[in-house]
Chain A
């Protein structure tokens, strides 16, 4: 017989696990309010809000944040277009080498970032492409495409192919069918995939290290800042912002894809 109540030791273990995962994040948050700026001292000797003002007035923070947002936005956009097209082809057609291509598309997210980073760097060098904003975007797009693809391909498989035929049968051309039938059916999957892609790109460090020139994305800026003993809590303020910026889209994606398990367009 199964008991509905978990034993006490299991509850304690689960609680301890959750604490281990999340207390460090809370500590980071706490340091954003400390009065001590040379070293991390626990407990904080005093609390202050001055670091928010300091952070606000630091142009390097703004530059890094702006670069990160622009990179994430453009990589996500590229990923949305390419990932959707690729997913549509995989879900609709059978062709020679289909499984291989499917594997190749997913590979970048399974590969260690350092491999992706090194290989892209040497490829850019070989092709004489100077490191710039666009090389960062390309690097990020490699794994963003995968996230969008995975979301879209699952939705395409659950959308009945006869919906497209029904639309054409009723007089809609390819464009109208895409706009009125395909897009509404895959929209939430694209939104979820896009949000995940954005979040992944926003806090990416390893690939960025290899594909960036002189620019600093926000995570790279934070790494640099940690080794400099000056206005340390500024890093913590930025860390808080990053956590929130990353967390909200993921939460949104979760709610959007919830409850879409039924097969769209299946009539029986």
Chain B
């Protein structure tokens, strides 16, 4: 059975800018797949390549085994939830949701029935007569979701969809999206720059940097066993040790990642000087200097917090120092 989405050596150049540079990946059917990376890393361009708004400069994008080269967006079995929602301001909510069905030539009664069912699915029943301008950000988001889902796409693309919402609503929508995906059972491809969002929602994550994929894996793999220093730093702000430091502390010459929460204050450990402290509520973040290297650690609540300028002794379990292949 072919993958829902397959990238084979895909490049997309804008002039001299390599927005997407030789990306290969496979997204399985029914998967919740996150494309994570900083802005300008190529993740949104990849999403637009799947939707059909961009064509690859080189390589091929396949959707359920079919080569999509030259296929326009309106002939693809994928639908998009846009970052700015892109609701049609001249139509009410029901007509917005039914737009795709209207264009496809379905009858008025069927359109109405399906659009109302979709609004029910996103928990906005009875909102059909309102205008997009009268809705809150979270409600617009749901309308955009219903408008895409009503088309029964085989792949749903979500472009930084939760970025515009406030923290509480964002967390609520994260859970709802995850539940919705389980319910409708279609493939979700989700673009985000928020590592917490990717870790909590996705089945698998592709970490993007400068147009390339640095690592693809489950949230646990990406977090616990980052393949590259960039992944370690971007996902969970790990301490990245260069080979010479790793050699000094572990006797192996390789890049290594050390999670801030894995470091403890212990007697007889390695000496480190406290540069600064920050109270985070559930924990306190210590900014340390060890062997000329900046190290961050998290001190659990209740522990004695050292003062800046003090020298402390730190240590970690051997298994927590994760060695990486290369830079």
Contact = CB atoms under 8 A, between A and B. Distances in A.
A171 interface: yes
A169 B87 contact: no
A171 B151 contact: yes
Contacts of B103: 167, 170-172, 176, 180
B170 to A, nearest CB: 14
B74 A169 contact: yes
A160 interface: yes
A187 to B, nearest CB: 9
Given A165-B82, A167-B99, A185 B89 contact: yes
B73 interface: yes
Interface string B25-66: 000000000000000000000000001110000000000000
Q: Determine the interface band of chain B, counting residues with CB < 8 A from chain A.
A: 20 to 34
Nearest to A187: B90
A162 B99 CA distance: 15
A166 B88 contact: yes
Q: Which of B53, B86, B164 has the most CB of A within 10 A?
A: B86
B243 interface: no
A7 to B, nearest CB: 42
A169 B73 contact: yes
Contacts of A266: 84
A268 B88 contact: no
Contacts of A166: 80, 82, 86-88, 147
Interface string A144-182: 000000000000000010110111111111001000110
A268 B141 CA distance: 10
Contacts of A172: 74, 99-100, 103
A267 B74 contact: no
A160 B144 CA distance: 15
Interface in A178-194: 180-181, 184-185
Given A166-B80, A169-B73, A171-B100, A267 B85 contact: yes
A267 B141 CA distance: 9
B133 interface: yes
B164 A268 contact: yes
Given A169-B74, A172-B103, A265 B79 contact: no
B100 A265 contact: no
A39 interface: no
B72 interface: yes
Q: Which of A160, A162, A173 has the most CB of B within 10 A?
A: A162
Contacts of B132: 267
Interface in A222-268: 262, 264-268
A160 B84 CA distance: 9
B137 A267 contact: yes
Given A170-B79, A171-B100, A267-B132, A165 B53 contact: yes
B140 A267 contact: yes
B26 to A, nearest CB: 23
Interface string A66-99: 0000000000000000000000000000000000
A171 B104 contact: yes
B61 to A, nearest CB: 15
Contacts of B99: 167, 170, 172, 180
Contact of A168 (B73, B85, B133, B144): B73
Contact of A170 (B89, B90, B151): B151
Contact of A162 (B86, B90, B102, B137): B86
A162 B82 contact: yes
Interface string B74-106: 100011101111111110000000011011100
A166 B80 CA distance: 7
A168 B71 CA distance: 12
Given A172-B100, A267-B140, 15 more contacts: A162-B82, A167-B99, A167-B103, A168-B52, A170-B99, A170-B151, A180-B102, A180-B103, A181-B88, A184-B90, A185-B90, A265-B84, A265-B88, A267-B84, A267-B137
Query: When A and B form their complex, which 6 residue pairs have the shortest distance between CB atoms, in order from nearest?
Result: A267-B85, A170-B100, A166-B86, A162-B86, A168-B73, A172-B103
